[in-house]
Structure 1
C-alpha cells in the first residue's frame, strides 16, 4: 500500500492561502452511490471535475465525489514551483530522437497551448487576479559554457528541423551577449540565455478556486482526509466499489488522479510511476524586483528556478537548490520524505538573492515570508515516470477506471490539456452527451506519448527502475564534482 505521508512539512502556497476548503467535507457521511469517484483533489482531480461539468450537455452533469487522503490539494500541487512553463525547445533533441520531429512538436505544442487555455479559462471564470495569474517571458540562463552548449544546441536543432518561421521557434530567442544576458535575467554570471513565453500562477489557489465553483453546482461532493483504500472491478450492475476508512461508495466510474500514488490502487503502475522530491522557499522581496520567471543552469542537473508573485504579495518563490542537494542525490531520487526538509536548504535559500541576483536590495541573508516551520521553506513529492511522460486514458483491462497520473515533475503545462482530453471519454463511457467548451478547443490532440495504452504499459514493465534510480544518483554525483558545484557542504558530510 502506497499512501502519502500524513505529516508533511508546511508549504507557503498552502499556509499563505488559508483556504476554508482545506479540510472541507461536503456531507458528514459519504454518499452510497454516485456516477463518478475522483481519487485525488489536486490540479488533476479538480480540473477533471471542472471539465466533466463543462463538457456535459446542459442538465446532465454526472454526480461526483472527490476523495482526498489528506487536506484538499495538500500534495504536489500545493508544493510545486508555480511556473506554468512549457518546454518550448529544451527537450526537442531528446523527443525528436524518440518520436521524430513531428512527434516532438506535438508534445511541445500541447504544452504551449496551456498558456492560452489558462488565460481563457481564468478570464471566463473571473479568477485571474485571485490566483495571481500572469503571462510573460521566461529564460534559461546559462551559467557555464557547458550549459550554453546544451541550451543553444537544443534551440539550433529545432530551428534547423522546423525552420525559422515555425510557430514555436519564432517565439524563442537567444541572448548571446553576456552583458545583455545578465541584465535581462538579473542572474549574476549569466553568460547567455534562451527566452520564450511562459506563465505563472498560485497553484493551490487555482485548484481551490475551481473547487469552490464546482461545489456551487451541487454535483460535486468534496471529502478531505478520506483516503481510498481499495477499488474493485465493475460488478454485474456496472458499479465499482471504493473502500475508505469512512465507508464504501459505489460508482459507475473511478478516475485515478493521484499522480505519484497511482500504484496504491492500480498495482500495474508500480514499476511505471515513482517518487521524486523537490525543495522550495518563499522570500520577501521589493515589489516587481524580478522581471521574469526563469531558471539557472550549470549543467543538465544543477539548476535553480524562480518567479516573483505580482502585488500585493511580491514574494519570490525559488526552488531547485541543486548546487547543494546534488551532493546527496538520494535526498531527491525515489524519495517520498516530504515530512523532512532537505539538509542545509534554509541557509542556501537565505543566501541565494545576494549571491545570485543582480542588484539585490532586500535583506541579506534574505528574509523568508514565513518561518521554516510555518512554510517558508518546504519539500514536496512529485511523480517521476519511467519514460518521462504521463499516463492518460482508460485503464486497460479495467472497465470503468480512468487514469491521469505520472506527470514527471512537469504537470503545470500538461494536466489541463490531459484532463480536457479525458473528460469526453469518461462522459461517453457514462452515456452522457458532451459538448466541447470553447476553452478546451485550444488544445491540440493528446500527444501519443501521454496515452495509457495497453502496449505501452506492458512494454514498460520490463524496464529496470532500480537501475534507472542508480543512474540518476550516479549522474548527480558526477555533477557534484564539477567546479561550479563547489565542495560538499559540511552539513551533508555529517
Structure 2
C-alpha cells in the first residue's frame, strides 16, 4: 500500500499562497453516491474537474463530482514543483525521433507547445491571469560546458535538418553562440552558449486552487481534503463502482486516477510502471525584476539547475535542480518518496548559487531564503518516473469505468492540461451524459500516441526492472560526480567534505 507521507516538508508555493481551500471539505459527511470520483487534487485532478464543468456547462444537467485528496488540497507534486510551464521545444527531439520518427517527435513537441496558448486562453477567459502569476516570454538552456553545448546544439540542429527553418516550431527556437552575449542574456556566469525558445511560468498551486474554486462555485463539486481513497471495487451489475475511504464509502459511475507516483496504491498493475523520484527546490529572496528570463544551466546530460522569478510583490526566485550536489546523493532521489525529509546540505548549496552563478548578484555571501528552511524556504517533493518516460492517459484497461492521467515524470506542466481535456469526453461518454466540446479545447492537437494507456503498452512494461533502473541511475550519478563541476569548493562544503 503506497500513500503519501502525512507530514511533508513545507513548500513555498503552499505556505505563501495562504489559500482558504488548503484543508477544505465541502461537507462533514461524504456523499453516498456521485457520478464521478476523482482521486488526487493536484494539476491532473483539478484539470479533469474543470474540463468536466466546461464540457457540460451548456447541458441540461451536469455530472456531480467528488474529489478526494489524501492530504491537503494540491499538497503533493503540483504544490512542490518548479513552476515552469516550459515545453521541450527541441531538446528531446533526437530520442523522440529515433523512437517515433520525425513526425512523431514533432507531434509530441506540438502538444507541449500548445499548452502556452491553452493556459493563456483559459486564464484570460476565467480572469485569473494575475492571481496565478502567469507570465510568458523566452527561456534558455545555457551550456556551461562544451559537452553540454554539443548535446543542446545537436538536438536543435537535428530538428532543423529534418523540418527546415520554415517549420513553425523550428522558427520559435534560436541559438546564442557568442559567450559574452550568452552570459548577458542568461545572467549565468560562464555560460558558453544557449538555445532560446518560448515558455511560460505559473504559480502551480494557485492555478489548481483557482480551477477548483471555479468548479466549486457551480455546486457540482464536493471537495474532500484529508480523505485517502483506500480501495476501489469492480463495477457491479448496476454500474456502480465503490470507492472506500477511512471516512466511509462512495458509489460512483466513473473513477479517475490522478495520483501520479501513488497510482499503484489503487492500481497495482502500475507498480513497476510509475515509480518515485524525489526532487528538492528552494525559494530565494531577490530584488524585484532581477531575473529577466526563466532558464536552465546544463553541464552534462544529468547535471543542471533551473529557475524562475516570481513577479512583485513576491520577487522570489524558485530554484531547482541542484544536480551538481545531488549526484553525490543518489539514494536521496531516485526510488525515494520520503518528502518528509530534507536532503542534508542542499539548502546551503541553494543559498550559495546566486553569488556563485548569477551575473551582478548583489552580495558575495549566502543568499537569504524566502522563508526559513523548514517553513517553505527549502523543500522536497515526489514526482514520478515512468517506465517508458511517457504518462499514462485514458481508460484503464480491464477496469471498466476507471480512467487515468498519471506518470508525468516531473514534466507535467506542459502536458497535463490538454491530457485531461482528452480523457474528459471519454469519461462523459461512459456516463451517457450530454456534452459539447468547449471552444477552449477546439484548436489544440490530439493526445500523442505514446501517452495512451493501452493494454499492450501496460502489459509490455510489466517486465520493467526497477532494480536495473536504480543501478543505471546510480551509475549515471557516479560518472557525473567525478567531473570538476561537481567537485568545486562550495559543493564539497555543502556536502560536508571541507
* Interval of TM-score (by shorter of Structure 1 and Structure 2): over 0.9
Alignment match, 1:314:
315
1:224 partnered with 2:225 = yes
1:489 partnered with 2:492 = yes
Deviations 1:102-152 (A, max 9, x none): 111111000000000000000000000000000000000000000000000
Residues 304 and 318, structure 1, Cα contact 8 Å, conserved in 2: yes
1:196 partnered with 2:197 = yes
CA distance in 2, matches of 1:112, 1:367: 34
What is the CA distance between 1:465 and its match in structure 2? 2.1
Alignment of 1:240-259 (within 5 A): 240-259=241-260
What is the CA distance between 1:493 and its match in structure 2? 6.8
State the superposition RMSD in angstroms.
1.1
Deviations 1:186-221 (A, max 9, x none): 000000000000000000000001111111100000
CA distance in 2, matches of 1:276, 1:61: 37
Aligned pair in 2 of structure 1 residues 359, 493: CA closer, same or farther (>3 Å)?
Answer: closer
1:168 partner SS: helix
What is the CA distance between 1:310 and its match in structure 2? 1.2
Give the length in aligned residue pairs: 494
CA distance in 1, matches of 2:232, 2:493: 47
What is the CA distance between 1:362 and its match in structure 2? 5.4
CA distance in 2, matches of 1:361, 1:128: 31
Alignment of 1:76-95 (within 5 A): 76-95=77-96
Deviations 1:308-344 (A, max 9, x none): 0111211100011111111121211111010111121
CA distance in 2, matches of 1:458, 1:388: 16
What is the CA distance between 1:492 and its match in structure 2? 4.2
CA distance in 2, matches of 1:145, 1:325: 22
Alignment match, 1:44:
44
What is the CA distance between 1:490 and its match in structure 2? 6.0
Aligned pair in 2 of structure 1 residues 127, 337: CA closer, same or farther (>3 Å)?
Answer: same
Residues 405 and 419, structure 2, Cα contact 8 Å, conserved in 1: yes
What is the CA distance between 1:364 and its match in structure 2? 3.0
Alignment match, 1:19:
19
What is the CA distance between 1:442 and its match in structure 2? 3.2
CA distance in 1, matches of 2:20, 2:316: 22
1:371 partnered with 2:364 = no
Residues 346 and 494, structure 2, Cα contact 8 Å, conserved in 1: no
Deviates more, 1:432-441 or 1:175-184: 432-441
Alignment of 1:137-176 (within 5 A): 137-176=138-177
Residues 349 and 494, structure 2, Cα contact 8 Å, conserved in 1: no
Residues 328 and 492, structure 1, Cα contact 8 Å, conserved in 2: no
Deviations 1:210-260 (A, max 9, x none): 111111100000000000000001001100000000000000000001011
Alignment match, 1:7:
7
CA distance in 2, matches of 1:59, 1:209: 25
Deviates more, 1:483-492 or 1:203-212: 483-492
CA distance in 2, matches of 1:35, 1:123: 29
Alignment match, 1:237:
238
Alignment of 1:388-467 (within 5 A): 388-467=389-468
Alignment match, 2:216:
215
Deviates more, 1:365-374 or 1:224-233: 365-374
Alignment of 1:270-349 (within 5 A): 270-349=271-350
What is the CA distance between 1:468 and its match in structure 2? 1.2
1:31 partner SS: coil
CA distance in 2, matches of 1:139, 1:129: 24
Residues 113 and 442, structure 1, Cα contact 8 Å, conserved in 2: no
| Unmatched tracts of structure 2, length 5 or more | none
2:90 partner SS: coil
CA distance in 1, matches of 2:329, 2:363: 30
Residues 260 and 407, structure 2, Cα contact 8 Å, conserved in 1: yes
Q: Which runs of 4+ in 1 moved over 3 A?
A: 490-494
TM-score, L = length of structure 1: 0.99
1:71 partnered with 2:72 = yes
Residues 328 and 477, structure 1, Cα contact 8 Å, conserved in 2: no
Aligned pair in 2 of structure 1 residues 363, 243: CA closer, same or farther (>3 Å)?
Answer: farther
2:478 partner SS: helix
CA distance in 1, matches of 2:198, 2:62: 35
What is the CA distance between 1:363 and its match in structure 2? 7.2
What is the CA distance between 1:483 and its match in structure 2? 1.4
What is the CA distance between 1:394 and its match in structure 2? 0.2
CA distance in 1, matches of 2:40, 2:78: 11
CA distance in 2, matches of 1:168, 1:330: 38
| Unmatched tracts of structure 1, length 5 or more | none
CA distance in 1, matches of 2:51, 2:144: 41
Alignment of 1:122-141 (within 5 A): 122-141=123-142
CA distance in 2, matches of 1:306, 1:443: 28
Deviations 1:418-443 (A, max 9, x none): 00001011001100122111111232
TM-score, L = length of structure 2: 0.98
Residues 137 and 199, structure 2, Cα contact 8 Å, conserved in 1: yes
Alignment match, 2:120:
119
2:46 partner SS: helix
